[in-house]
Amino acid sequence: MSQLQFLLNGGLGNQIFQYLASKYITKLIPELDINYSLSEYILKGYRNFEMNRILIEKINIKKEYKSFRSKLLKKIFNNIYLLNSVNARDLILKLKFLETIEENEFHHKYKFENTLVALYQKLKITKHSNSPIKVIGYWQNPSCYVDNIKNINLLFENTKKFLPSNFQSLKYITIHIRRGDFLEDKEKYFTYFSRFSEIQFILGSLNLIPKEFESVPIYLISDDYEWASKITSLIANNFKNKLLLLDKKDSIETWCILNNSFINIVSNSTFSYTSALLNISNLNNKLRCILPKWINCKESAFEKGWLSPAGFIEI
């Protein structure tokens, strides 16, 4: 039986995607022994591992699989004439050294290929190996399991219990705007603002909300509170809905507030997207989630699979 380890990396949204990917693989190849480790990025405190607060069955974190001999062998094999990278990886498996499967191996071979499907195909071939396998990637395309979202949601706590006392599930709408890490350096800054207007996205999304929901309050949430406070005061008078700025420091509480929205207006963020994806309270709504057309320079929301759930649209 192969020991398969998913390396958890990034913030809460990415960790959720990695966890859901592991559950998808477990369902298809139940004989795999799956465990989890934390990346150096998390261990050094750049992000927190908080997912256990919302999981019913808590994750046991193990030490990351590492093998310097495997890295050395891979370099040697990759430089051997007539031995391609696929054969080199197969040889490493036969020698029972650690194999690392990275999502980047599957990117851009086919424009619309879901890398999670490619991961499954590879693991299906190697599942009888006794050598350990480490899986690295974000696996952010939900299209493989979106039709099973009700059952997937059973893995998580009832997030209503995390709501502040003045919040009732499906009695409000949320807008999430991500800014912080897009503004860290000039390249990210210019790429972001050359492709996406936060103001236009907010205004366009608000105009899509049906007239019969004008009495439903709307909460704006952003990692840039100062910017959000200015924007809220500027546009609040242009809509009949009451527009409020939410200042929450607890990321789990914020995620749970998003997860219980009547309509989720999300940013280019796995944090707000996963909260909308797992929001089963509004599954019957024709309009469940509005996301921006811009995702990144190389991939659209459609290619990413972010439009696969019913009721998800982009503008």
Find the CATH number of the domain harbouring 253.
3.40.50
pLDDT one-digit tens code per residue, 251-294: 999 999 999 999 999 999 999 999 999 999 999 999 999 999 98
Same domain, 115 and 175: no
pLDDT one-digit tens code per residue, 60-112: 999 998 865 555 555 665 666 555 655 555 555 555 455 889 998 886 655 67
pLDDT one-digit tens code per residue, 171-206: 999 999 998 888 888 887 888 888 889 999 999 999
- Is residue 185 in some structural domain? yes
pLDDT one-digit tens code per residue, 112-156: 789 999 999 989 887 666 778 999 999 999 999 999 999 999 999
Q: Is the pTM of the predicted complex or chain greater than 0.85?
A: yes
Same domain, 87 and 202: no
The predicted model gives 155-166 an average pLDDT of 95
Judge whether 62 and 37 are in contact, CB under 8 Å. Answer: yes
Same domain, 270 and 173: yes
Question: Among 136, 171, 196, where does a domain finish?
Answer: 136
pLDDT value, residue 189: 81
pLDDT value, residue 84: 60
- Is residue 151 in some structural domain? no
Same domain, 172 and 212: yes
Same domain, 269 and 214: yes
- Is residue 143 in some structural domain? no
- Is residue 153 in some structural domain? no
As for how many domains the chain has, the answer is: 2
- Is residue 230 in some structural domain? yes
pLDDT value, residue 73: 57
Same domain, 111 and 185: no
Range of the domain at 257: 158-314
